[in-house]
Structure 1
Amino acid sequence: MIGRSMIGRRLALGAPLLLLACGGREPPPLPARPPGYAWLTPLRLNVVDLEVVEAPLEARVDPPAPIQPAAEVARMGRDRIIPSGTTARARFVVEAASLVRSGDSVSVLLRAGVEVLDNNRRVAFAQAEARRSLSGFGSGAAARARAAETVMVGAMDDLNVEFELQVRRNLRDWLLETTPTAPVAPVDAPGGIERQDLPRG
């Protein structure tokens, strides 16, 4: 089953979501989130180890970008895929991680795949993609940074949902049973996504 926190948030694969901020105002602050993605339902694979490859072919990132797309997708792979077997291995690949600006809009494309290798031969594979865009925000540095953060958080939510669906569909023979648990956010937890300090605008 899909983690409870993600129920009802799935978007059609590849369909961008356009969010309009009235009057060019800065998007509202994002709610506090638990750090990382380990609080979501773990995906325990019957493999002995996990390799994470962070070298996307599509990796354009236009500043300001308080959340680095490639690093964040790689973090999702490390947090959610749990090697729990004694043979074979898994490789999580960040295939696309871009944040592109055009005029007053910003668009994000994220794509990742995980493959199971047995004696260096791929025996199973799953892939997920998420796209989001945002327009109509202010022109100041702070507004542009907040817009990038907002669209990245939404795209990562979408990617987590789609990734779990694809893993359960395509790697079911390698997936070990996991009892879903309700996420519990730590007291005074910082935002769940790593950010970089940006100049105020």
Structure 2
Amino acid sequence: MRPSRRAARLPMLLLLACPLLPLAACSDGPPPNFAPLRYDYLPVLHLNVATINIADNGQPGTVPGDISGRAPTPPDQALRQMATDRLMAAGTTGGAVFTIDRASILHQPGGTLEGQMDVHLDVSSPNGQHAGYAEAHVRRTFGSTASDSDGNADSPANLYAITSQMMKDMNVELEFQIRHHLTDWLVDTAGTSPSAIQQQQLGVPGSPDAAATGAVAATPAVAAAVPAAPVAPAAVPSEPNAIFPTGGPAPEAAAPAPRVKSPQPGYLTVPSGTATSSATGTPDTSNGY
């Protein structure tokens, strides 16, 4: 019995359809590629300690309901990378411990992600005693979108976004707390503390070094000396002097001017040959004089 035409065409249709199956499976495209979270482009904080260790107490699942393990970069790993990139031991003694207390992401009702990060940094002296402490706390809420209402709030893209946002806040907050509470433990790239006071070694009295130091110290005083203002010449009067019309000795050598006195009291004498009035004694002018 010959098979029907329909049955003969079935294997051929299957062969034609099989190559299309892989294409259908890849129709959604490759998974998104998330860049690693690195922080070596930010300023490095040099601590005057010999070692810096990291203690991770915020691994995924530590907090009930935590879904941070689904993130492309879990928050605790991002915090570890931040400590590695930004904290550097620049001393010869002592030590520091960077502790991750919490690094969680919770999926709240309504398609909302709630993230929290808590860290602290302990500094110990060379003899092992606790000498300094700084802590930083960050909380972020990632709001839902229209697509998240269908259960996509905890997608890798959203988990990556909230982790990145929390890390931006943590970098700022941690640096502020360290500079505020651990200032004495910060050093520059040369190993000098910003709060160190510069000192100058003085030589033994009488030695060439002491003389050179004294000369250098005396230089500012000489440079700072201001010459006395010249004495202004005495003012020359604009009118001739009544006592010395043609001048006279200098003002500082001149004798005090004599006091002008009035004539001694007395009587005026009338010249002879002038007639006087017998009554008043005044000249007689009746004759025309």
- TM-score bracket, normalised by the shorter chain, equals 0.5 to 0.7
User: Distance between the aligned counterparts of 1:52 and 1:177, measured in 2?
Assistant: 22
User: Distance between the aligned counterparts of 1:44 and 1:64, measured in 2?
Assistant: 33
The TM-score with structure 2 as length reference comes to 0.47
The percentage of counterpart residues that share the same residue type is 28
The residue aligned with 2:106 is 100
Structure 2 unmatched runs, 5+: 1-33, 191-289
Counterparts in 2 of 1:68 and 1:115: CA distance versus 1, 3 Å: same
**Structure 1 residues 101-140: aligned runs within 5 Å:** 101-103=107-109, 104-118=111-125, 119-137=127-145, 138=148, 139=150
Moved more, 170-179 or 138-147: 138-147
User: Distance between the aligned counterparts of 2:134 and 2:153, measured in 1?
Assistant: 37
Amino acid at match of 1:59: T
8 A Cα contact 1:59 1:70, kept in partner: no
User: Distance between the aligned counterparts of 2:129 and 2:118, measured in 1?
Assistant: 22
User: Distance between the aligned counterparts of 2:91 and 2:84, measured in 1?
Assistant: 16
Considering Cα pairs closer than 8 Å and 6+ residues apart, tell me whether 1 or 2 has the greater RCO.
1
The TM-score with structure 1 as length reference comes to 0.67
8 A Cα contact 2:124 2:130, kept in partner: yes
Alpha-carbon shift at residue 37 of structure 1 (Å) = 1.0
Amino acid at match of 2:49: V
Structure (1 or 2) with the greater helix fraction:
2
- State the number of aligned residues: 148
Structure 1 unmatched runs, 5+: 1-31, 180-201
Instruction: Please tell me the root mean square deviation across aligned C-alpha atoms, in Å.
Output: 2.4
Structure exhibiting the larger radius of gyration computed from Cα positions = 2
User: Distance between the aligned counterparts of 2:166 and 2:144, measured in 1?
Assistant: 18
The residue aligned with 1:48 is 50
Deviations 1:3-50, CA, capped at 9 Å, x for gaps: xxxxxxxxxxxxxxxxxxxxxxxxxxxxx9785111100000000011
Structure (1 or 2) with the greater strand fraction:
1
